[in-house]
Structure 1
């Protein structure tokens, strides 16, 4: 009997491995990704099965929201834009078309954008807008802690819910795994609708733990929105034990808020299976400036990786400068190569990283890329005063990109992210000034000091780079 069971187990096990190998082959992935998975599954099947379950599945053919619902939300957004489609400058028209084709991103005209570079000013601005809310408040964060900062926001939301304002919250189940259930349950008792995105009952036994919603969005009355890199937690306001928390967030007033609304309502529909519609969610937007922007959500579901493709295109077509702020630099080969080629071609390429991040492992992996970057002529800046968490990309004189996405594998391949692409010379000049101000507080890395770092450090960096797609 035992021999029969053993034989049956081996047959099932072998068929499972071969079946997964067949799935990987027929997915028509990049051979550089396909071959390692096959090798691991064949020669280390137990480890391979576990890693494939969590990190290897191809979700490009899956959906969390139907095409019909997505089309309905997009049409509702387009109908609300009574001033028609803006004329995109010729220099950015291909990029705008790319975003429209891959993620159905609509160009939005005339928004007033206010940047915030610290958590305190952003938090005060958000609370001020919430206090003025009349109809609805939509909140979406990867992290919504139950600390002092989180409780301030909770109390403000509860107060508005008691006044009859519709309050909806989406939070990430993994990002908020350390938050007490009573925190959100208390808000629900006050009439606030709060839901976890891709709820994870058993984190150790589901692949959903690897695909998280990293977006940070707030929309008030459909007129004002917030987007950027700051979550809701004390450290974003007060800083870390080794210094301040430097981040970037935008307040968007006007039609740009409608783009954030569409992103939120798509996630709301995917999470709750309820579609919210009505003109009150897309009020007529006043034109404040000549800015043109596109709100670009991206995620692991669907064929295209919109943010990776858009960033790669923008970098490849830069003519003057490429300035980057990111807390983690774990790029795709295509993007990494594009930045090096740009630097070799004489483009001013600057990469600003934190001198110390919140993860030593990620630091090591990120630093493994710097040798080749510096050899190509990329200027590396280490931000010294604290933790640089800003996600900023400046291309030439008229394109600024900000949002939730880091320049790493997880943001480009696994997470649900959202960025704003702003086409405007005056605004780009303003953000370039912010970058230069940060640069004055940085240590500019020299080839001599970097290439002479200890050999054990180099070995550790190379080892951690192997795991870059998992970090």
Structure 2
């Protein structure tokens, strides 16, 4: 049997398949400008070389992470360096070269302290919509919160409001079997963003829409890290298996920034439904107002890894403090280096994480990075409850908050959106919010590790977060 398996003709066939697989990988990466993180590129190359029969189908199904720009639309062209107006911050200058929307203004900003306030704000926004209401979310739960949201959406549609609900194609299965028919029968337009079984484009099945936002009348946006399920707000004790409330972060903005949120939703909706592309709504002239917020989309629909680039640049430039909160912490080598070097040069680095998250693999994969950070002088705080908030504060110059976790899937694969805040009073609100979460947290204490433990952690990182 073994002699037949290693017969010259089979060896030749295997060599041909391997060459074909590697050729497809290289040609696709070049033609589609598929730049990858080095470790992910190595993982794909080695897998295709050693296991082409298994790796090639997986690559064709999951391998692409950027969408051709002509299929997306609504991109802002990078600003030429000579045309940048004076007085912009480092982040605004860098963002302008990445093709991101220009910094904007807001009329009102409200940061929610807890799930109760966030829920009341969301329901009030839904009920206040008079013409349009657009919601994009990763998960919508079959629980008390999900049913309450569905009821309010139905009532809005019955009042004549155009209501659109966009749920991620994988996330739609994670929240339970919601009664989608009741929504559509009431006039709510519902769509799933890239079904895992029916992707509109090949090679994008694993690119999930993790954005979370609700836009009313193109002038108010509710957003942050909360999915529309009970655990992200106040919990649901009435269930057979009660849902405990998590700590999460969300906020409301009104004004010009909401127009950029509306354009983002149009882009995502058009891609998901293959509808006719709409021209983006032009924001009002900002020349008389100092821009204080900026829309930061990141993901396959952006030519660059926008959020990752801004985060790395800001961490290397930090002088006094870096504060961050995230449910998962699995940084790549460059982000880890930026945080470690900041701590070593005297920047106060505070990282708030849950003691135990809802993803055990992520918890196992984070320890090597946390050991290195604490050894460099960073402070890591572990909260007793699950914390699902996502925010970063750099000095007194920048705060970023939204949907992106500090892990490689959020920074390199998912569709995400954050908002950058430049006003010192707004930045301090986020800093104080994180400081209050830290009051009940315990400092992380690195434990002695064995070689086997370190190998296991490395395997988890390589397998779970690179491909």
User: What TM-score comes out, normalization by structure 2 length?
Assistant: 0.85
Alignment of 1:217-228 (within 5 A): 217-228=213-224
Offset at 1:20? Answer: 2.6
Residue in 2 aligned with 1:259? 260
Residue in 2 aligned with 1:44? 51
Q: Is residue 158 from structure 1 mapped to residue 158 from structure 2 by the alignment?
A: no
Please state whether the residue corresponding to 1:177 is helix, strand or coil: helix
Q: Is residue 335 from structure 1 mapped to residue 335 from structure 2 by the alignment?
A: yes
Is the Cα contact below 8 Å between 1:86 and 1:109 reproduced in 2?
A: no
Please state whether the residue corresponding to 1:139 is helix, strand or coil: strand
Name the stretch that deviates more: 215-224 or 293-302. 293-302
Please state whether the residue corresponding to 2:171 is helix, strand or coil: coil
Runs of 4+ in 1 over 6 A off after TM superposition: 5-9, 85-88, 281-287
Is the Cα contact below 8 Å between 2:193 and 2:209 reproduced in 1?
A: yes
Instruction: Call closer, same or farther: CA 1:429–1:181 in 2, change over 3 Å.
Output: closer
Offset at 1:284? Answer: 7.0
Offset at 1:323? Answer: 0.4
Alignment of 1:204-243 (within 5 A): 207-239=203-235
| Structure 2 CA distance for aligned equivalents of residues 35 and 440 of structure 1 | 42
| Structure 2 CA distance for aligned equivalents of residues 419 and 150 of structure 1 | 23
Offset at 1:277? Answer: 5.6
Is the Cα contact below 8 Å between 1:118 and 1:245 reproduced in 2?
A: no
Q: Is residue 299 from structure 1 mapped to residue 306 from structure 2 by the alignment?
A: no
Residue in 2 aligned with 1:13? 17
Deviations 1:99-144 (A, max 9, x none): 2321332211243211114333212111112111111101110111
Offset at 1:368? Answer: 2.2
Q: Which structure shows the higher helix fraction?
A: 1
| Structure 2 CA distance for aligned equivalents of residues 236 and 25 of structure 1 | 38
Instruction: Call closer, same or farther: CA 1:326–1:178 in 2, change over 3 Å.
Output: closer
Deviations 1:263-306 (A, max 9, x none): 11111222223357699x7897999x966100111112443000
Is the Cα contact below 8 Å between 1:316 and 1:338 reproduced in 2?
A: yes
Offset at 1:245? Answer: 0.6
Instruction: Call closer, same or farther: CA 1:188–1:290 in 2, change over 3 Å.
Output: same
User: What TM-score comes out, normalization by structure 1 length?
Assistant: 0.84
Residue in 2 aligned with 1:81? none
Alignment RMSD: 3.4
Please state whether the residue corresponding to 1:382 is helix, strand or coil: strand
Please state whether the residue corresponding to 1:353 is helix, strand or coil: strand
Is the Cα contact below 8 Å between 1:116 and 1:249 reproduced in 2?
A: yes
Aligned counterpart for 1:191 among listed residues 169, 187, 194: 187
Instruction: Call closer, same or farther: CA 1:14–1:349 in 2, change over 3 Å.
Output: closer
Instruction: Call closer, same or farther: CA 1:31–1:403 in 2, change over 3 Å.
Output: closer
Any unmatched runs of 5+ in structure 1? 76-84
Please state whether the residue corresponding to 2:459 is helix, strand or coil: helix
Any unmatched runs of 5+ in structure 2? 1-6, 78-82, 237-241
Residue in 1 aligned with 2:134? 138
Offset at 1:38? Answer: 2.5
Is the Cα contact below 8 Å between 2:136 and 2:212 reproduced in 1?
A: yes
Please state whether the residue corresponding to 1:387 is helix, strand or coil: coil
Residue in 1 aligned with 2:111? 115
Instruction: Call closer, same or farther: CA 1:285–1:238 in 2, change over 3 Å.
Output: farther
Please state whether the residue corresponding to 2:323 is helix, strand or coil: strand
Q: Is residue 436 from structure 1 mapped to residue 435 from structure 2 by the alignment?
A: yes
Alignment of 1:381-400 (within 5 A): 381-384=381-384, 386-400=385-399
Name the stretch that deviates more: 295-304 or 397-406. 295-304
Instruction: Call closer, same or farther: CA 1:460–1:244 in 2, change over 3 Å.
Output: farther
Instruction: Call closer, same or farther: CA 1:87–1:31 in 2, change over 3 Å.
Output: closer
| Structure 2 CA distance for aligned equivalents of residues 291 and 29 of structure 1 | 33
Please state whether the residue corresponding to 2:417 is helix, strand or coil: strand
| Structure 1 CA distance for aligned equivalents of residues 204 and 215 of structure 2 | 27
Instruction: Call closer, same or farther: CA 1:11–1:186 in 2, change over 3 Å.
Output: farther
Please state whether the residue corresponding to 1:246 is helix, strand or coil: coil
Please state whether the residue corresponding to 1:393 is helix, strand or coil: strand
Name the stretch that deviates more: 456-465 or 106-115. 456-465
